[in-house]
Structure 1
Amino acid sequence: MLNTLREYERNPLVRFLHSVFDEVAGSEIVDKVVERYAIGTSTKWGGATVYWQIDQYGRIRTGKVMGYNATNGKRIHTQNNYVHSILSDRYPNFNLEQCYFGSHLIVEAEHHADLNNAERRRLNIDGEFHPPIWLFESEKAAVIVAIALMWGGAPFTFIPMATSGCGNLNPTFEAKRNPNHKIQVLKNRKVVLFPDAGKFDEWKAQGEKLKGFCQEVYISTVMERDLHPNKVDCEINYGDGFDDCILRYIADGKEIWNLICTCYGYHGQWKIV
């Protein structure tokens, strides 16, 4: 993994992120988020992106290698593989147990929460705050939302993570009992699910299976115009993610912070469990 954390001038996704955010948010924020998520540069396909899956204990489970168009940030669907598959000859007895992209960030976020909660106790302020997990389908969405949060001065308020598809949430009875399963990072936590456009019912059904496992589960309606109580002032197509809205707002010179602040919640209206 360490050998991939470089040569970002060859990495099409990182180049795209800089082209979008440098002028509005600053290149330092992009670099910091790339570093925090341990995004790597592969030797495949001229420098494809590596999304390392690192669990909450710092164990590297695998890496997802994906090609992107550096101009528009779109995936190149023919450029897609996993590190454990590429290096299968080196690890003949490899046993894959994936984790959510960004799971390792829980430790850093909780450290900041502990410091803030200690200060709240010193000031006799009731209640403690622990950052909810924002769970997206795509890794790119989690990264772009993380950039937006850091840009807005709230890098540890939420923890953007990615499942790599709704089917990978998979809160089965066996998964909940398996201490090494990726779903364990959601246990006893507040979680917000962010379905891509058109996937709301599918994600809601998955979220309902988290009852008794998570502290609270919300589902964002931001990609569903008929359900969302606030105006999303951009085009939304089937399959789009929340990151597409953010990118369209920035391209049109629109303020994104109100979009970020109203993307879920609504006084418990969309609390699943």
Structure 2
Amino acid sequence: MNYRFHLEKYKTPSSRHTCPACGQKRIFVRYVDSEESIKFPKYVGRCNREQKCGYHYTPKQYFIDNPTEKEEWDAFPILQKQVRETVEPDYLDQALLNKSLKHYDTNNLFLFFQSKFGCGVSELLFKKYQVGTANHWNGSTVFWQIDQQDRIRTGKIMLYDPQTGKRVKKPHSHITWVHSLLKQENYQLKQCFFGEHLLKENKTSPIAIVESEKTAMIASIYIPQYVWIATGGKNGCLNQDNMLILKNRKVVLFPDLGAKDYWNIKSEQMSDLGIEVIVSDYLEKNASKEQIEEGYDIADFLIKSCPRKSVLQQMVEKNPMLNLLIETFELKAV
């Protein structure tokens, strides 16, 4: 079968490009249109380092993320049907969330927060983000995804080490979803940002986006000038539908180490939607070799900083370019 959209055939070394995810040169293959009427953005393609990188952004995903490209959908009839027939997402019962907002004395992540920030601050933070305790694994945490209409899209259950605050990954990765455990037939999941419900409460402050839910919570303690939300992973919910809720807001992306190139792509997509966005390079400029190997994120840096009230000033001292970001978004140090 001949496909209209396919990976570019090898011709010369110039037909292989730098991967937008891992940064390796001459390893990335872009998708092309055999009819030569569509020229995909440079990030639509596949990295040949399948085991070490695995980046693969297909034309199908591009059309899903960019539904305004309707004039080309006739060549993708199956996809066209999927996109045009908008399916309303399902929601979980509020009672499930309410029931989880207790037993923090057995919640490993809460115990870690308590050791770093005290019981009072930790309780306020868990209530602010509506983070609960799950009983799927002893000590596990549930991060509820609540949209701006206070509807519960799902809950992500994860297990952390109470001493280090790191995820428990042995003997297996401890992560699952509430909607999956409930075994609701044909559940229509449409993820939203973790912390999205906070956007309706604060309509003026700039928004900071990170990957990890835990990181968003920690960063909100140190740098409250932003509304901190999380995608739930490098890919997570950072698609066009969710980007649209960021319109008319100022946004700063804080990618984890090693993910900056990929998030640069996402920032370009945001800019195309008219969103004022900046990608922070603080981690890349300040991380040591050991920190890079350990995969530090902004929360790891913040926790190691001295006292909370002066963290922003310390960051500026280490990276004067941060002043530009502060001035651009009219932030005030606290």
TM-score (structure 1 length as normaliser): 0.75
- Of 312, 323, 327, 1:257 maps to 312
The yes-or-no answer on 1:48 pairing with 2:140 is yes
Q: Which range is displaced more, 162-171 or 204-213? A: 162-171
Q: Secondary structure at the match of 1:65?
A: strand
Counterpart residue number, 1:131: 205
- Contact 1:235–1:245 (Cα < 8 Å) also in 2: no
Match of 2:100 in 1: 4
- Structure 1 residue corresponding to 2:126, chosen from 31, 34, 55: 34
Q: RMSD of the TM alignment (CA)?
A: 2.7
AA aligned to 1:246 is L
Q: Which has the higher contact order (CA 8 A, sep 6+)?
A: 1
Structure 1 residues 87-143: Cα deviation after superposition (integer angstroms, max 9, x where no partner): 11xx21310000010000011112xxxxxxxxxxxxxxxxxxx21110001001001
* 1:161 paired residue among 229, 242, 246: 229
Q: 2:270 aligns with which of 193, 202, 210?
A: 210
Per-residue CA deviation, residues 190-230 of structure 1 (Å, 9 max, x unaligned), is 110001112111111221111242431001111112xxxxx
Please, which of 302, 309, 326 is the counterpart of residue 246 of structure 1? 302
Deviations, residues 128-159 of structure 1 (Å, cap 9, x unaligned): xx21110001001001011223xxxxx4x311
Q: 1:267 aligned to 2:320? A: no
Structure 1 residues 253 and 83, CA, compared in 2 at 3 Å: closer, same or farther? closer
Could you report, residue by residue, the CA deviation over 1:14-65 in whole angstroms, capped at 9, with x for unpaired residues? Answer: 100010112xxxx322211110000000011113010000001101000000
**2:178 equivalent in structure 1:** 83
Corresponding residue SS for 1:84: helix
8 Å contact kept, 2:315–2:322 = no
Q: Displacement of 1:169 after TM fit?
A: 5.0
Instruction: Read off the aligned partner of 1:95 and give its amino acid letter.
Output: Q
Unaligned runs of 5+ in 2: 1-96, 329-334
User: What SS is found at the alignment partner of 2:201?
Assistant: helix
Q: 1:99 maps to which residue?
A: 192
Count of residue correspondences: 225
Aligned to 1:73: 165
Q: CA deviation at 1:185?
A: 2.2
1:20 aligns with 2:116: yes
Q: Which has the larger radius of gyration?
A: 2
Matched position secondary structure for 2:105: helix
Aligned residue identity for 1:140: K
**Identity, % of aligned positions:** 35
From 258, 271, 289, the equivalent of 1:198 is 258
Deviation at 1:237, TM superposition (A): 2.2
- Paired with 1:233 and 1:257, the residues of 2 have a C-alpha distance of 20
Report the equivalent of 2:150. 58
> Quick one: which of 281, 286, 289 aligns to 1:221?
281
Alpha-carbon distance between aligned partners in 2 of 1:265 and 1:254, rounded to the nearest angstrom: 17
Q: Is the 8 A contact 1:56 1:185 kept in 2?
A: no
How high is the TM-score relative to the length of structure 2? 0.62
For 1:261 and 1:32, the matched residues in 2 are separated by 28
For 2:116 and 2:220, the matched residues in 1 are separated by 14
Tell me what 1:109 maps to: 202
Equivalent of 1:142, from 194, 213, 216?
Answer: 216
Could you tell me how far apart the structure 2 residues matched to 1:235 and 1:253 are?
24
Which amino acid letter does the alignment assign opposite residue 147 of structure 1?
I
Q: CA deviation at 1:234?
A: 11
Is the CA contact (8 Å cut-off) linking 1:55 and 1:99 kept in structure 2? yes
Inter-partner Cα distance in structure 2 for 1:253 and 1:265: 17
Secondary structure of the corresponding residue to residue 210 of structure 1? helix
Q: How has the CA–CA distance of structure 1 residues 6 and 261 changed in structure 2, closer, same or farther, with 3 Å as cutoff? A: farther
